[in-house]
Structure 1
Amino acid sequence: MNKKYQNGFFIFGIIVLGIMITQLDFHQVWEGLRHAGYWFIAVVMLWAFLYLFNTSAWYIIINSQDRKEGQKKVSFAWLYKLTVSGFALNYATPGGLMGGEPYRIMSLSPRIGPERASSSVILYAMTHIFSHFWFWLLSLFLFIFTQRVSMPMAVLLTVTGAFCVLGIWFFISGYRKGLANRVMKFLGHIPLLKRWALPFIESHREQLDTIDRQISALHKQSPKTFVSAVLLELSCRFCSALELFFILLVLMPSANFLQCVLVLAFTSLFANLLFFIPLQLGGREGGFLMSTTALGISANAGIFVALIVRLRELLWTGIGLLLIKFDKKA
């Protein structure tokens, strides 16, 4: 990647991270870290493991695509670095995908070409979001089988289930027909983006068609690759509930892993509905508080969980931003 753009991503991320750190109550942070003890280290190390799932899903997507002459093979270690940095930018950027995905495309393009880089990044982003919808849908059934369901809760679960099914249908349709042209046409109907999107579609129609063909090829020609990538991402969702399990063990030695899955599902759904907020500030904490109390866990425990998770996110965001400066060849 061009050093100018690399430095731009790095400086922007550091500024936003610095602003978010200033919003912390440092006394509360210190007390939380003292209380968590070595479990905080376990939580941080867990994410070094979880990012392996994300990288593996993206790695098999890239390797499933036809490699043209002159394009390099991307190493897993370099892609892991790119994965962590990309998520760091997504965490720090309002709109989520507006930060990490352009960075990934620009980093990959010199190695595998712009069309292949764009399609692999779009495919991975689709798979990442697609797995969230499956995680939320499966968690609904888990809730029904393990918790008492009142009438208001039944209505909420029905609405949420319909939302998840609609999301799954949308992405399956996108896998079959491609998504690049559809997204650009959608942007072409938004007043503030219309002037940019329509000329872009006309001048890049061939590239967009190529990207869509590569997206649909994964679903049609490589079903094993498609299923493997989705299962890796879905496994990552369930394994990430270990983070909440580790934190709750500090307060509740009898903490239940299944409850942690439900807390994570509800919180991530609530936070993603507020995707336009950097790091889902406030939304994530509110989601933890509501989901923990709804499952019979004390409000103080919910606040403690939210604090430790926020500190872990800030730490890994800082690590990811620093990795932007170590952009060695794959």
Structure 2
Amino acid sequence: MKIIKFILLAIGFTILYLTVRSVGAENILSNLMAFNWKFLPILVVYPFVFAFDTIGWGYAFPRSLPSHVPHRDLYLIRIIGETLNAVVPWAASLGGEPIKAELLKRRHGVSLSEGYASILIVHTTFWLSLNLFVIGGITANFKSLPLSPILWQSVLAFLISLGLVALLLIIGLHLGIFKKVHALGEMFKWWGAHSGEKRMKFLKLDDEIKRFYTQDPRRFFLSTFFNFLGWFAGVFEVYWISKILGIPMSFGQAWLFEALMQVLRIVTFFIPASIGAQEGGIVLLFLQFGFEKSVGFTFALLRRIREILWLAAGLVLWFFLEDRPRLKTH
């Protein structure tokens, strides 16, 4: 684990360096100095995004969040995991998920089956809530914004695809997908070693997930609700940046803009930290909204600076957190 940790940290800081380089250190400093205190609210919004998402994750545990796992530790673990999701280039934005499960086990004794079950479950509520968030943004602006038909068609295709993925994942998890994965694995020779042990682990994972969906559906809806609040909190960041840049953007437009940026981020998941793709996409969105290209680039720059600061915080946090003793609760 130590070797993997330092390899991932090295990759993470490399991606962080490349991100800073793509933006330009001078651009970062000049913008921070130009906006001074007005930049601070941008940093304040994101902790609320993580807080809502953490509560949503807490409701996704099969047996409810263990009482000995404080929300503050779950919050820190989520920051670390999401940081690695952003910077690990080969893991399709999922590189931090095993780290979340491992940290839960090391620091709080949460079994890997329960940890992975909660992560898989929260992904279903995460995608479902994103679908609702994008639909809400479109509903609030459908008649008021003259966006191109191609953009609307692309968003519609994304919503249908995302909805199908979420639905199929929920159905698969409910029916016991890991038992089928194990049966498929037994067809290959390399799977044979410790096959019985693997089967027990997969069956336990299926049982944990099935328990969640059958015994307490209320927590599924609560997890979806708080994940939706996490998406919605991001609208305030967009709205605030638009105000400090003097952009005449309504709150409803900010909602749609944030929704479309999340669509863009997911579509470009294979690019570490979406370097370049995010900036280009934001500029194109600004042009679609009828705003100036230069203002769009400044907007993208401010958002990227916030991401750089949070990525740095997440990597530093992981460096120190794993070796610290477990947080005590009173």
* TM-score of the aligned structures, taking structure 1 as reference length: 0.85
CA RMSD of aligned residues (A): 3.1
Q: 2:68 aligns with which of 73, 81, 89?
A: 73
List structure 1 runs of 4+ shifted beyond 3 angstroms.
2-12, 95-98, 148-158, 178-189, 194-203
Q: Distance in 2 between matches of 1:134 and 1:290?
A: 24
Tell whether the 8 Å contact from 1:88 to 1:320 is kept in structure 2 after alignment.
Answer: yes
Is 1:321 equivalent to 2:319 in the alignment? Answer: no
Deviation of the 1:277 alpha carbon: 0.7
Q: Distance in 2 between matches of 1:291 and 1:179?
A: 39
Q: Distance in 2 between matches of 1:114 and 1:256?
A: 45
5 Å-filtered alignment, 1:158-307, equals: 158-180=156-178, 204-252=198-246, 254-307=248-301
Q: Greater shift after overlay, 122-131 or 207-216? A: 122-131
Q: In percent, how many aligned pairs have the same letter?
A: 21
Match of residue 90 from structure 1? 85
Q: Distance in 2 between matches of 1:53 and 1:221?
A: 23
* Structure 1: runs of 5+ lacking an equivalent: none
Q: Distance in 2 between matches of 1:252 and 1:163?
A: 36
SS at match of 2:218: helix
Tell whether the 8 Å contact from 1:140 to 1:161 is kept in structure 2 after alignment.
Answer: no
What is the CA deviation profile of residues 228-260 of structure 1, one whole-angstrom value per residue up to 9, with x for unaligned ones? 011101111011111111111112264311111
Deviation of the 1:270 alpha carbon: 1.8
Summarize the Cα distance change of 1:66–1:124 in structure 2 as closer, same or farther, 3 Å threshold: closer
Q: Distance in 2 between matches of 1:183 and 1:261?
A: 39
Q: Distance in 2 between matches of 1:83 and 1:112?
A: 15
SS at match of 1:259: helix
Summarize the Cα distance change of 1:137–1:254 in structure 2 as closer, same or farther, 3 Å threshold: closer
Q: Distance in 1 between matches of 2:48 and 2:303?
A: 16
Is 1:113 equivalent to 2:111 in the alignment? Answer: yes
Q: Distance in 2 between matches of 1:304 and 1:140?
A: 25
Letter in 1 for 2:52: F
Letter in 2 for 1:57: G
Q: Distance in 1 between matches of 2:152 and 2:44?
A: 37
Q: Distance in 2 between matches of 1:196 and 1:130?
A: 36
Tell whether the 8 Å contact from 1:36 to 1:247 is kept in structure 2 after alignment.
Answer: no
Summarize the Cα distance change of 1:98–1:163 in structure 2 as closer, same or farther, 3 Å threshold: closer
* Structure 2: runs of 5+ lacking an equivalent: none
Q: 2:145 aligns with which of 122, 127, 147?
A: 147
Deviation of the 1:281 alpha carbon: 1.0
SS at match of 2:69: coil
Summarize the Cα distance change of 1:161–1:84 in structure 2 as closer, same or farther, 3 Å threshold: closer
Deviation of the 1:150 alpha carbon: 5.9
Deviation of the 1:276 alpha carbon: 0.9
Q: 1:129 aligns with which of 115, 121, 127?
A: 127
What is the CA deviation profile of residues 22-55 of structure 1, one whole-angstrom value per residue up to 9, with x for unaligned ones? 3332222223223332222111121122211111
Deviation of the 1:311 alpha carbon: 0.9
Summarize the Cα distance change of 1:151–1:243 in structure 2 as closer, same or farther, 3 Å threshold: closer
Q: Distance in 1 between matches of 2:15 and 2:192?
A: 31
